[in-house]
């Protein structure tokens, strides 16, 4: 992740806070059963960029950088503690979705290592994902804010509904961009939006600031997902760290292909359908590039990033705000 010099002073604080998040994450998953502990330690390897906890901490710091937007004292250790807990909670929810996604996708690799389902089978992976979800809500209850539990419950329901919507359109050659955007908004956007919006509320922000940061996170999450879609076609597996080409094999049509299918006709369309049926990624990539659809997907991701950054105008200038800005840019610059 490329950060700007203005954020350098914030990095030691961010590193310490993320360390606290990781410790809380690990402590919550400790079980009296060795079999559970072995799997919990394995899934800790899935914590890569820790983007979602970073969004929580950065949003809280950005809000508290200007007391005009803050209804509570900027120096409040109880708020820091609550934000660290929220960071661990959203990371658990995210890890649960990864474990479940690997089952649905029959994936073998995650973060360069074996997936839980490839090691222990689908039944174990499903139960581990459920364990992560239940643990996240148990930890969330320790914050003592009933509204937070309710908001996370609603967000998790929307996330699951996005997965169901995507599954209902598997292999759908008529899938349009509007439906695709609704899928990724629910599957990826709402969790990132919750990270920022709920963190802002915990930090004492006004409703307007909370909503602006929620939208920042949601749009950033959608850009993140589109970039994932692009990398699934053009990325290198050793860099991306997970099994590539899964979307095509499982009939999950992503933005580059959705756009291409609306643009191509005749022989190109017939070749495209054949490549889809044969899961021929190199041929399909060539066809998608021929209609400018890969470039169009990248442009759409950049548009979501620009919208997200514009939301930050409601915040005062600060290293934390600059960090949020840099995270948005890094979302579409990454290769993994």
Please tell me the predicted confidence (pLDDT) of residue 3.
47
If we measure between CA atoms, which residue out of 113, 102, 99 comes closest to residue 238?
113
Q: pLDDT band for position 302 (50/70/90)?
A: very high
CA dihedral 193, 17, 43, 27 (to 10 degrees): -120
Looking at the DSSP bridge assignments, the partners of residue 110 are: 113
CB 200 within 8 A of CB 213: yes
CA distances 247 to 47, 187, 228, 312, Å, are: 22, 14, 10, 33
Q: How high is the mean pLDDT of the chain?
A: 90
Please tell me the predicted confidence (pLDDT) of residue 241.
46
Q: What is the pLDDT of residues 3-23, one digit of tens each?
A: 444 567 788 889 999 999 999
Instruction: Give me the residue label for tokens 């509320």.
Output: 201
Give the SS3 label for residue 171.
coil
pLDDT at position 1 over 50: no
Distance CA 97, CA 306 (A): 27
Element holding 194 (H helix, E strand): helix 190-202
pLDDT at position 336 over 80: no
DSSP calls for 148-168: HHHHHHHHHHHHHHHHHHHHH
pLDDT at position 72 over 60: no
DSSP state at residue 65: T
CB 143 within 8 A of CB 85: yes
Please tell me the predicted confidence (pLDDT) of residue 46.
77
Please tell me the predicted confidence (pLDDT) of residue 333.
86
Instruction: Give me the residue label for tokens 């548009």.
Output: 303
Distance CA 89, CA 69 (A): 25
Give the SS3 label for residue 249.
helix
Distance CA 28, CA 54 (A): 19
CB 115 within 8 A of CB 109: yes
Higher pLDDT, 93 or 236: 93
Q: Could you give all domains of the chain from N- to C-terminal order, each with its CATH number?
A: 5-333 (1.10.600.10)
Distance CA 26, CA 18 (A): 12
CB 92 within 8 A of CB 48: no
Q: What is the pLDDT of residues 212-264, one digit of tens each?
A: 999 999 999 999 999 988 988 886 654 444 455 778 888 889 999 999 999 99
Give me the percent of the chain exceeding a pLDDT of 70: 91
């Amino acid at each position: 992740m490329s950060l700007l010099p203005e954020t350098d002073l914030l990095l030691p604080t961010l590193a310490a806070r993320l360390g606290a998040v990781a410790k809380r994450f690990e402590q919550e998953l400790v079980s009296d059963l060795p079999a559970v502990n072995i799997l919990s330690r394995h899934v800790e390897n899935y914590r890569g960029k820790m983007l979602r906890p970073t969004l929580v901490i950065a949003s809280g710091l950005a809000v508290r950088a200007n007391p005009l937007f803050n209804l509570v004292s900027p120096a409040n250790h109880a708020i820091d503690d609550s934000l660290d807990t929220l960071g661990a909670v959203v990371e658990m929810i995210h890890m649960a979705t990864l474990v479940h996604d690997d089952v649905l996708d029959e994936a073998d690799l995650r973060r360069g290592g074996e997936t839980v389902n490839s090691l222990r089978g689908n039944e174990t992976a499903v139960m581990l994902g459920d364990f992560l979800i239940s643990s996240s809500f148990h930890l969330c209850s320790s914050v003592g804010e009933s509204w937070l539990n309710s908001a996370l419950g609603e967000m998790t329901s929307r996330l699951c509904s996005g997965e169901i919507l995507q599954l209902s359109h598997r292999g759908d050659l008529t899938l349009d961009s509007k439906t695709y955007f609704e899928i990724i908004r629910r599957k990826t956007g709402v969790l990132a939006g919750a990270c920022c919006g709920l963190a802002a509320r915990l930090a004492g922000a006004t409703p307007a600031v909370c909503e602006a940061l929620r939208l920042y996170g949601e749009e950033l999450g959608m850009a993140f997902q589109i970039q994932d879609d692009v990398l699934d076609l053009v990325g290198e597996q050793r860099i991306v760290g997970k099994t590539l080409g899964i979307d095509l094999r499982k009939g999950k049509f992503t933005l580059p292909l959705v756009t291409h299918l609306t643009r191509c006709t005749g022989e190109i369309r017939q070749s495209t359908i054949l490549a889809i049926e044969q899961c021929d990624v190199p041929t399909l990539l060539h066809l998608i590039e021929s209609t400018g659809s890969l470039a169009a997907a990248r442009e759409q991701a950049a548009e979501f990033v620009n919208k997200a950054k514009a939301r930050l105008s409601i915040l005062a200038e600060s290293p934390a705000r600059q960090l949020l800005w840099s995270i948005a840019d890094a979302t579409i610059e990454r290769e993994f």
